[in-house]
Structure 1
């Protein structure tokens, strides 16, 4: 088993892992020849299924992967990986490889860090025997003949990230949830704004629930929803199972550029509406024109035009806290396409 590669875009990789770390702690990372897959499946809450082409973050020419199954399955703490990747920002050379120390598997991230020094510290003198400033002899005379101009100093830094190698049999039963054809597809508004309003609605509903009875009122019924997003070459899907820990938000959209976020309790009902959003076209290469015309989203577009404003909306109720964590993916890409269908938001 062997894995070694140079990083092409450490910033995108770092932003991706930062987004994933807000949704879970332990990540299943599957290394394949053409794609890298990231999966987070907690005991409850949001599931994440993400994939990104190898060439988006890794250098194709240095990418080496050897395994009997043509894939390597790794369990890693995604927050630890993210902290290591942040140190690679601005580095001219970053290598990621699979290694082992005392029979413990590790991901080794090696970074070439550069800094500028001034004066004799950049040169090998009697006070700096090896030229790297890590040995000092105060009794030796100073070098007064060297160049005192600034010099670039380079240092190799290796960080070791503990991991667990998963056998293929341990993950072969894990499959991404299947979602039906969308009833609505729409580009969401600014995610920071949407998250701010969603958090405000959730807080208001929680306060209202606490004022009427001890603790947070349990939602009417558990449900399941999923969210997927794409950007910077990444394709990610998140499926969330209700945790019964926060109020439910109602998110609805139509095929005429409208999105509505609402929450209702016995004491209040509030809503925020966006209009003039974009309903992006689906890829015509994936299906014929006749097949596309029979999609639920296209039927909803026609139904709303003929039967009235409310008839073409797709609605879903989602856990407020889970939704807030999912919206944290805005750091990876500001543009997110949402696909809505009954009991699902993709």
Structure 2
């Protein structure tokens, strides 16, 4: 099998891996001819299923394998993120799948830095040509006026197709409310503030103290609140957008849209947020939610789908010139019971 690509958007790739790393140390990386997919399925907490267009990160891209040119890898996100950070000021960067002398598979990130660059890295000299493809690293650091070529190695594990065949995105019912969230970094700031206010009570043995309640209605209102024995505080956003559903994307077409839960919720509540009717709510862990919100550093719009008292699903669309072929990160956040 072979994989080799030129990274064209190092900043986005670095921010993406940093955000994913906050939710779990390992990711399933699926490389195919159509997309690059990152999946995180922790034992507890939020699941992430990210589908990225190839040109959102790479310029040249090649993947070959006996399994329909699809390669599945288990990748440690921390080392990958650190390797990408060392390439932030590079003139070019390539990544490829190869092996070390002891047959350990690695992702090798070859970085070309401009003259006088002080970026540090761990060089690796190798001329092996194996089932993972050839790899060569030339450390040309001698002389202050020359480019330096360095290589970062990220140990990975190659996964057989059967190993990942049973992994699928969670199944959720149709959402009761869907709404475009305000800027995530703004939402994260308030969420973190609420969580910190409750930490003292959590330290006293109340494991529910840092649980936030998020609620939204179909009139552009979003509410974030926290309730404990000692306090009850909330923030409300109004004039947000509830995107219209496309009948072609709804089971049953126009008839299905008319019977959709969100259509019924439009008949309830009000745009000023004062009515208690028409709200769909979920209860989430404040610390886990703060990690989810770190994806806000990537920008882009975020649509939140509320399945009342069941789950919150976030669709994070990365900035793109084309709306027809966008990269999207999907977050599945389960709701705690009352």
What TM-score, normalized by structure 2, do the two folds share?
0.78
Aligned-residue Cα RMSD (Å) equals: 2.3
Match of 1:64 among 62, 65, 69: 62
Q: Tell me, in whole angstroms, the C-alpha distance in 1 between the residues paired with 2:75 and 2:57.
A: 18
Indicate the SS of the match to 2:84. Answer: helix
271 and 100 in structure 1: CA distance in 2 versus 1, 3 angstrom threshold: same
Indicate the SS of the match to 2:243. Answer: coil
Shift of 1:193: 2.3
Q: Tell me, in whole angstroms, the C-alpha distance in 1 between the residues paired with 2:34 and 2:295.
A: 23
Shift of 1:96: 0.9
Q: Deviations over 1:46-87 (max 9, x none)?
A: 22211111221112xx32211121211111111111111122
Q: How is 1:72-151 mapped onto 2 (pairs within 5 angstroms)? A: 72-101=71-100, 102-115=102-115, 134=142
Shift of 1:134: 3.4
Q: Deviations over 1:163-218 (max 9, x none)?
A: 111111211111110122111111212222211221222222232354xxxx4313
Q: Tell me, in whole angstroms, the C-alpha distance in 1 between the residues paired with 2:106 and 2:116.
A: 31
The question of whether the paired residues in 1 share the 8 Å contact of 2:185 and 2:297 is answered with: no
Shift of 1:335: 2.9
Q: Tell me, in whole angstroms, the C-alpha distance in 2 between the residues paired with 1:304 and 1:257.
A: 10
* Number of matched pairs: 284
- Say if 2:44 is the partner of 1:44: yes
The question of whether the paired residues in 1 share the 8 Å contact of 2:90 and 2:111 is answered with: yes
Higher helix share: 1
Q: How is 1:216-255 mapped onto 2 (pairs within 5 angstroms)? A: 216-219=205-208, 247-255=210-218
Runs (4+) off by over 4 Å: none
Q: Which residue of 1 aligns with 2:130?
A: none
The question of whether the paired residues in 2 share the 8 Å contact of 1:2 and 1:64 is answered with: yes
Q: Tell me, in whole angstroms, the C-alpha distance in 2 between the residues paired with 1:161 and 1:116.
A: 25
Q: Which residue of 1 aligns with 2:14?
A: 14
Flag the structure with larger Rg: 1
152 and 280 in structure 1: CA distance in 2 versus 1, 3 angstrom threshold: farther
- Say if 2:255 is the partner of 1:290: yes
Q: Tell me, in whole angstroms, the C-alpha distance in 2 between the residues paired with 1:200 and 1:216.
A: 20
The question of whether the paired residues in 1 share the 8 Å contact of 2:141 and 2:149 is answered with: no
Q: Tell me, in whole angstroms, the C-alpha distance in 1 between the residues paired with 2:149 and 2:174.
A: 50
The question of whether the paired residues in 2 share the 8 Å contact of 1:74 and 1:165 is answered with: yes
- Say if 2:279 is the partner of 1:313: yes
Q: Tell me, in whole angstroms, the C-alpha distance in 1 between the residues paired with 2:5 and 2:247.
A: 36
Indicate the SS of the match to 1:11. Answer: helix
Q: Which residue of 1 aligns with 2:317?
A: none
The question of whether the paired residues in 1 share the 8 Å contact of 2:213 and 2:281 is answered with: yes
Indicate the SS of the match to 1:12. Answer: helix
Q: Tell me, in whole angstroms, the C-alpha distance in 1 between the residues paired with 2:58 and 2:246.
A: 27
The question of whether the paired residues in 2 share the 8 Å contact of 1:191 and 1:334 is answered with: no
Q: Which residue of 1 aligns with 2:238?
A: 275
133 and 338 in structure 1: CA distance in 2 versus 1, 3 angstrom threshold: closer
293 and 115 in structure 1: CA distance in 2 versus 1, 3 angstrom threshold: farther
216 and 334 in structure 1: CA distance in 2 versus 1, 3 angstrom threshold: farther
Indicate the SS of the match to 1:69. Answer: coil
What TM-score, normalized by structure 1, do the two folds share?
0.76
**Greater Cα offset, 269-278 or 188-197:** 188-197
Shift of 1:292: 2.4
**Greater Cα offset, 16-25 or 261-270:** 261-270
Q: Tell me, in whole angstroms, the C-alpha distance in 1 between the residues paired with 2:275 and 2:211.
A: 24
